[in-house]
Amino acid sequence: MATLRIDKLNKSYGDAAILRDIDLSISEGEFVVLVGPSGCGKSTLLRMIAGLDGVTSGDIFIGERRVNNLEPSQRKIAMVFQSYALYPHMNVKKNMTFGLKFAGLAQPEMDRRVAEAARMLQLGPLLERRPRDLSGGQRQRVAIGRAIVREPDVFLFDEPLSNLDAALRVSTRVEIAKLHRLLGATMVYVTHDQIEAMTLADRIVVMNHGRVAQSGKPLDLYYDPANLFVAGFIGSPAMNFFKAKVDKKGAATVTLSGDGLPPFDLAAAAFAPPPGAPVTIGVRPEHLIADAPGQFRIGGAVELVERLGETSYAHVRVAEGVTLIAEMRGRDAPKAGDSIILGAPDRDLHLFDERGERIAIG
Amino acid sequence: MTRSRITRLGVHAVLFAYVLLAILPILLVVMNSFKSHDAIFGAPLALPNADTFSLIGYQKVLAKSHAVTYFLNSMIVTLGSMFLVLLFGAMAAWALTEYKFRGSTLLALFLSIGIMVPIRLGSVAIVAMMRQSGLNDTLTALVLVYVAQGLPMAIFILSEFIEQIPKDLRDAARCDGVPETRIFFEVIAPLLRPAIATVAVFTMVPVWNDLWFPLLLTSSDSTHTITLGVQQFLGQYTTDWNSVLSALSLAILPVVVIYVIFSRQLISGLTAGAVK
Amino acid sequence: MLTDILTIMPTPSQVVAAMPRSRFIGLMLLFLGPAVAIYTLFSIYPLLATISLSTYSTGPTGDHIFVGLANFITLLTDSVWSKPFWNAFFNNLLLFLVHMVVQNPIGIALAGLLSLPALRFRATYRTLIFLPTMLSVVIIGFAWNLILSPLWGVAEGFLKAIGLGAWFAPWLGLPSTALVTLSLISVWQFIGIPMMLIYASLLNIPEELVDAARVDGLGQLRIFFHIKLPLILPTIGMVSILTFVGNFNAFDLIYAVKGALAGPNFASDILGTYFYRTFFGYQLQVGSPTMGATVATVMFLIILVGVCVYLFLVQRRMLRYTF
């Protein structure tokens, strides 16, 4: 296993900048998930770590080695692709040993590694089959097996679950998590699904428009998003955002109000902008409760309730064009047409300035 | 990085060398067709300059042959056969893909035999048929033969294409009560436009360049095609280098011009059809 | 390819069930009629008529007498007919072999180069390499005739310039080299077609597969031989059978450069030119439709055998990989 360090990495195609000033440091055995919307550059970053795409400027270090100019096979990495990329004309065993043969490994060693991987992933009965005779989930396991036998320093995963159906995605996700614990390997995993990110990662790197929006432990990103983008990306359903402005600014507290939002005080004077400045208030659906401490109150008419069983989501119209989603538990969720007022404790509120950056509350 | 740079240069070198091999002969012919007789032999690889430029070859060709008639004949035959191949081929492909009836599979197989088996082998009978029906030495005979030749491949390509058209369109038209013939001509046919490029490549080029059937089926100057005309002219004036080079160039240039203009469509048509 | 046709037939449409039978027949006649009629009349019927004609001979009064397989026996054994026939047949075989050995490997190599990722000028290379295929065989044949001609000296001069002047000979004029030279000219012209077909097939291979191979440590050359080549074998098979059919049907180039006599001394005679002479006659012999039909039938059988071998032995073994 090895560490992975990325220093001021930039990537452009002609004039189009894909990645800007990426700095990332991954420890040995860490599971890092690169997550973000389509086009944010996460796959490009992964390919550059693998060596499939070149570096425009900056450095990539695997372990102590600077790998910028090394071919993929020289970097001691292994990659699991979105479409599995299994060689159709070879059986499973051959798929897994193909690269090893060219690395000059002896037959007994190759057999040992295949047997080991097959045991880990229950591939034993499948070894003689061809990819077209395998199901999607089986193909994915073979793809993972092919990566394992390379005994790499870093595992790279490029949206490996995207092509699987929902149920299979959940079970394979669990298998990957177990694999990580078993191997203790350094893994870099790319996905657009924030649930995969939250459940698998030791650390999440949220990317947007070629930059790192925030990087940290999953629950840190959940409870303390650094900006509007991360706040809205992590968590499902997404965080509610309300446009507000600063009414008054005192020594310790500020008074905020907005559409559908009566004025309330918040202990955020230290970093808050002056009166008149626009801010955004964020609060997660699961944090909106009926009898909340603190001054924050918001409410209106319930337009629609989506009932999922024990959990329901109420869509509440608080003002013209402003709706919030609140998560309610139990069977006494409100009905459509009811009026409702909700609040949240100060510690569950998030404040962002007009550039979208977090304003500390406390 | 430098190692792959060198390989890249190597790749370009090989491709460039082959391109030279591919077009140099043609360039040579066209270049020299504009030169005077002595210049052709004196400095064959030189471009025509003020001293050596001469149109004498072209003048002779246009004076001594019916080049314009031949060209028109080729146009009529090629465009005519392509039109009929497209029309009849599309109708047949539609009928075979859409309506399944007893024997339709067999019929499809029957029509596809023509892809593999060359039609020329039946020439003995074709010539006899044409003579008997009085179609000998007509452009109609050529068109009929070329349509028969082009139909199997066209039906195959068009069938694959029609398969791609979403069934919803026909179902919606049927729900609206549109009669079957109108469904074909007004709903399906306009969607076949991309396939026309593919069919055109497989149909027009072999027809335009064909020597065999014009040789067998046409005997008078008024029905010769340009390919046959050029071949006979070349046979007649073998030693007259100016005329020969000019005749060749006249035959080359229209095709090259059209090819360069339509090259992207032609090549995408060829690759699209080939992938199937 | 033929088996593909069987897979595109869908299940019956409900409209067919609802339509009155007479209307349906009328509809089918309208749509299928013209194509089937022209095809049957001018493709299938002449072929069958020719095969049938080969079993007849022309009697002294000019009428046809049924002789069964006599014509075939004559063609294959009577030295007047069989010597030129077998000459033409083996020449045709050589033509085919030259194409298989030269045209297809070079076509595959060119396609491989053109399909490399991020290649600049790719479209230009493709367009220019395909240009000769667009031109008429007559033009190509004659142009090369001029270039290789000792009178003009272009080829000779070129070889001298690269130090191989001693190699030059009037290749088209020598019985020993004429056929091979003509075969190479044909290869030069038609290489664009296998190149494009294989290029299209290579494009179909997903990029991720190549990426996986790179991660596995293969360089581009190894990727081509171990990954790409096995996956395009079905296309190579198709190219081979098309080459076979095309070569055994060839005529235009030889006729355009050497005329019907396919000289020098019949060295470049192939089945196509032999058929032409047999049917229409030439200086030394009167044309014979029945013997011409016989030659045509034999050509048909040769091609049929080749196609059947391909369909039943080769194509069945080759698996098409869908991605």
Q: Which pLDDT score is estimated for A285?
A: 94
> In B11-31, which positions are buried (b, 16+ CB within 10 angstroms) versus exposed (e)?
beeebeebbeebbebbebbbb
Which residues of C fall within a CB distance of 8 Å from A79? Answer: 211-212, 215
Q: Long-range contacts of range B229-232, CB-CB < 8 Å, 24 or more positions apart?
A: B229/B65, B229/B66, B229/B67, B229/B70, B230/B70, B230/C136, B230/C138, B230/C139, B231/C138, B231/C256
Residue B163 buriedness (CB in 10 A; 0-12 / 13-18 / 19+): middle
Name subunits touching A (3+ CB pairs < 8 A). C
CA distance C10 to chain A (A): 24
Domain end marker among A212, A233, A254? A233
Residue C9 has pLDDT above 60, yes or no: no
Q: At C17, is the pLDDT very low, low, confident or very high (cuts 50, 70, 90)?
A: low
Nearest residue in chain A measured CA to CA from C319: A89
Shared domain check, A152 and A47:
yes
- DSSP for A36-61 reads -STTSSHHHHHHHHHTSS--SEEEEE
Residue A270 is encoded by which pair of tokens?
């230290």
To the nearest whole angstrom, how far is the Cα of C163 from the nearest Cα of chain B?
18
| Cβ partners under 8 Å of residue A139, min gap 6 | A84, A86, A131
Contact B122, C49 (CB under 8 A): yes
Question: Concatenated DSSP letters for C237-258?
Answer: HHHHHHHHHHHHT--HHHHHHH
Which residues from chain B sit within 8 angstroms of residue C154, using beta carbons? 28, 44-45
Which neighbouring-strand residues pair with A216? Answer: A204
Mutate to test the interface with C, among A13, A67, A75, A81 (most CBs of C within 10 A): A81
Contact between A294 and A344 under an 8 Å Cβ cutoff? The reply is yes
Substitution target in C11, C22, C38 with the highest count of B β-carbons within 10 Å is C38
Q: What is the mean pLDDT of residues C278-300?
A: 83
Q: Do C212 and A85 touch (CB under 8 A)?
A: yes
Terminal C-alpha separation, chain C: 18
Q: In Å, how far is A35's CA from the nearest CA of chain C?
A: 20
**A214 & A296 share domain:** no
- Predicted pLDDT of residue C10: 37
Q: Of the residues A216, A233, A250, which one is the last residue of a structural domain?
A: A233
Domain ranges of chain C: 79-317
Q: Residue B46 has what pLDDT? A: 66
Whether A270 and A317 share a structural domain: yes
Does A29 share its domain with A72? yes
CB contact under 8 A, A81 and C211: yes
C262: left (phi over 0), alpha (psi -120 to 50) or beta: left
Same domain? For A307 and A200 the reply is no
d(Cα A283, Cα B160) in Å, to the nearest integer? 55
| Minimum CA–CA partner of C271 in chain B | B121
- A102 to chain C: which residues are within 8 Å by CB? 216-218, 222
Q: Which of A46, A62, A79, A188 to mutate to test the interface with C (most CBs of C within 10 A)?
A: A79
Cα–Cα dist C206/A83, whole Å: 9
Query: What 8-state DSSP symbol labels residue A247?
Result: E
Specify which residues A159 forms β-bridges with. Answer: none
Contacts of C27 in chain B (CB under 8 A): 95, 99, 180-181
Asked if the Cβ–Cβ distance from C211 to A88 is below 8 Å, we say no
Query: Do residues A200 and A260 share a domain?
Result: no
The span from the CA of B240 to the CA of B230, in Å, is 14
Q: For residues B184 and B188, what is the distance between their CA atoms, to the nearest angstrom?
A: 5
| Calpha distance C200→C115 (Å, rounded) | 9
In whole angstroms, give the CA distance from residue C314 to residue C145.
38
Q: Clarify whether residues A124 and A269 are in a common domain.
A: no
**Do A162 and A18 fall within a single domain?**
yes
Percent residues over pLDDT 70 in chain C? 90
Query: Phi and psi of A304, rounded to 5°?
Result: -160, 140
Domain boundary among A182, A208, A233: A233
- The residue of chain C nearest to residue A81, with distances taken between CA atoms, is C208
Task: Judge whether A313 is closer than 8 Å to chain C, CB to CB.
Answer: no
Pairing of strands A77-80, A154-158: parallel
Residues of C with CB under 8 A from a CB of A: 206, 208-209, 211-218, 222, 226-227, 230-231, 319, 321, 323
pLDDT beneath 70: ranges in chain B: 1-3, 43-52, 65, 265-276
Closest to B122 (Cβ–Cβ): which among C5, C49, C130? C49
CATH label of the domain that carries residue A348: 2.40.50.140
Which ranges of chain A have pLDDT less than 70? none
Does C241 sit within 8 Å of B25, measured CB to CB? no
Tell me the H-state helices in C149-265.
154-161, 178-190, 192-203, 207-215, 220-223, 229-231, 233-248, 252-258
- Structural contact between residues C129 and B22, judged by C-beta atoms closer than 8 angstroms: yes
Mean pLDDT, chain A, whole residue set: 90
Of the candidates A329, A86, A45, A294, which has an alpha carbon nearest to the alpha carbon of residue A188? A45
Q: Which residues are CB-contacts of B27 (< 8 A; sequence separation ≥ 6)?
A: none
Instruction: Report the share of chain C in percent with pLDDT over 90.
Output: 18
Phi, psi angle pair for A12, to nearest 5° = -135, 150
How far is the CA of B231 from the CAs of A132, B75, C139, in angstroms? 54, 17, 8
CB within 8 Å: C43 and B14:
no
Element (H, E) at A256: strand A254-258
Q: State how far the Cα of A227 lies from the Cα of A359, in Å rounded to an integer.
A: 9
Residue-wise pLDDT tens digits, C204-226: 888 899 999 999 989 888 999 99
Q: Which of B108, B122, B248 sits opposite C47 (nearest CB)?
A: B122
Number of C-alpha atoms within 13 angstroms, CB side, residue C214? 17
Q: What domains can be seen in chain B, in order of their start residue?
A: 2-59 (no CATH), 65-236 (1.10.3720.10)
Nearest CA to C247 out of C99, C54, C131 is that of C99
Q: Name the residue among A50, A78, A87 with its Cβ closest to that of C209.
A: A87
d(CA A275, CA A269): 11
Q: Which CATH class is domain C79-317?
A: mainly alpha
* Min Cα–Cα distance to chain C from B274, Å: 6
Q: b/e for C2-28, b at 16 or more Cβ within 10 A?
A: eeebeebeeeebeeeeebeeeebeebb
Check whether residue A277 and residue A153 sit in a common domain. no
Buried b (16+ CB within 10 A) or exposed e, A282-299: bbbbbbbeeebebebebb
Q: How many domains does chain A have?
A: 2
Please report the pLDDT score of residue B272 as a whole number.
Answer: 61
Chain B residues in contact with C46 by the CB 8 A cut-off are 119, 122-126, 129
Please check whether residues A102 and A211 belong to one and the same domain.
yes
Closest residue in C to B250 (Cα) is C139
Same structural domain for residues A254 and A218? Answer: no
Mutation test of the interface with chain A: which of C210, C214, C216, C225, choosing the one with the most A Cβ atoms within 10 A? C216
The ipTM, to two decimals, is: 0.81
Cross-chain Cβ contact B15/C110 below 8 Å: yes
Indicate the residue of C13, C132, C296 with minimum beta-carbon distance to B124. C296
What is the rounded average pLDDT of the residues C138-148?
83
Domain limits at A90? 4-233
The conformation of residue B35, written as its DSSP 8-state character, comes to: B
DSSP string for B218-238? --STTT--HHHHHHHHHHHTT
Q: What is the mean pLDDT of residues C245-249?
A: 88
Are A178 and A227 contained in the same domain? yes
Q: Which of A77, A81, A102 sits opposite C218 (nearest CB)?
A: A102
pLDDT at C94 over 90: yes
* CA atoms of C230 and C228, how far apart (whole Å): 6
Chains that touch B (3 or more CB pairs under 8 A): C
Give the residue among A83, A87, A95 at the shortest CA–CA distance from A140: A83
Q: For tokens 């479409």, what's the residue?
A: A83
In the predicted structure, residue C7 carries a pLDDT above the cut 50: no
